[in-house]
Chain A
Amino acid sequence: MKIVVLVKEVPDTYGERKLDLETGLADRAASEAVLDEISERALEVALSHADAHDDVEVVAMSMAPESAATTIRKGLAMGAASAVHIADPGLAAADLGLTARTLAAAIRRTGFDLVITGNLSTDGSGGVIPAMLAELLEVPNATALSSVEISEGSVSGTRNVEGGTMRVSAPLPAVISITEALPDARFPNFKGIMAAKKKPFETLSAADLGIEPEDLSVAMSIMTAIAEKPPRSAGVKITDEGDGGTRIAEFLIENRLV
């Protein structure tokens, strides 16, 4: 079984995150780049299945600038057998549609039984790539799973939605996305880090995948305005002079928080 896990390099959420106000692109120099935690959890789902079963191959895949190669290698150090990195300057401003088309082409090229992604990235928080991929790859999707069971020929899990919890399952091949309810990822150990240096690491361009980033026959989203996030204003301090409870209640009502 071949499992493709999509991983993403993102600005560390602990640091300050910025967009370039001229281009609208993420300012990658403004903060430390890390492997998105939800990507690590997605990888952990695949790796723990590979640990317990023979003939499971885990491929880490990412569409990211060339500079992200080190971050993607962390996936190899954690235990993925190989990595595919789609790095192309022409894809720098890709919207969700172009990203999905490119990833789908790469996934088809690599081959897959199961694609595992995070439900939302911490930077873009679009959360629509898994469903887009399932549509493009013409396979079932099961998104936002808070538990996952992979078996020969099918994948199932639990899905929390408004007003209830679903049990879902899909025949393979399929695309799933997972939530933060799934376990933390393992740390790469020394052996893993050394082994990662010898693992296959493939770097592809858009042209390798038959993708034309400037294809204007496809609808795309265009950024029309961008502004810096206003600084957080100070909160309101309520000093209790016997009427503290009432004033808190009034504050909540005024701000429609109740």
Chain B
Amino acid sequence: MTDFPADSILVVLEATPTGELASSAAGLLAAAAQIGTPVALAVTAPGQAQSLAELAAALGAERVLAVETTSTQSELTIPYVDALAAAAARIAPEAVLISNSTDGRD
């Protein structure tokens, strides 16, 4: 397993139902880049991880962790929280950045 930089900042990306990055992604990744190394987490529908990762990389994400799951279409909050908890345990980031949106607050 690859090591993650000690100054990793874990950025939780939000995606729209059509597989685009939410508009908050650019701001979150830019903010993360100012205080450390941006590591992005994307929880997506099956088949969307690669394109989301490329979009996030274009916005400055150094690494992207992606989870492809059908559960985001049937469950609120829990799939994201589970993925975030697992990612935070793996990366041990200095901070976690989340959008102040309806899903982000959950």
Asked if A and B are interacting partners, one says yes
Interface residues of A, Cβ cutoff 8 Å to B? 119, 126-128, 130-131, 140-144, 159-164, 166, 168
Chain A CB within 8 A of B103 CB? yes
CB distance B102 to A141 under 8 Å? no
Chain A CB within 8 A of B94 CB? no
User: Which of the residues A127, A131, A141, A163 comes within 8 Å of B18, measured between beta carbons?
Assistant: A163
- Residues of B near A163 (CB, < 8 A) are 16-18, 20, 22
Q: A131-B77, A141-B76, A168-B76 are in contact. Are A160 and B105 (CB under 8 A)?
A: no
User: Which of the residues A143, A162, A166 comes within 8 Å of B14, measured between beta carbons?
Assistant: A162
State the total of A-B contacts with C-beta under 8 angstroms.
43
Shortest distance between the CB of A206 and any CB in chain B (Å): 25
- Residues of B near A144 (CB, < 8 A) are 102
Q: In which size bucket is the chain B interface?
A: 10 to 19
Shortest distance between the CB of B58 and any CB in chain A (Å): 19
Interface residues of B, Cβ cutoff 8 Å to A? 14, 16-18, 20, 22-24, 76-77, 100-103, 105-106
18 A–B pairs (Cβ distance < 8 Å), ordered by A: A126-B105, A128-B106, A131-B77, A131-B105, A141-B76, A142-B76, A143-B105, A143-B106, A144-B102, A159-B102, A162-B14, A162-B16, A162-B102, A162-B103, A163-B16, A163-B18, A166-B76, A168-B76
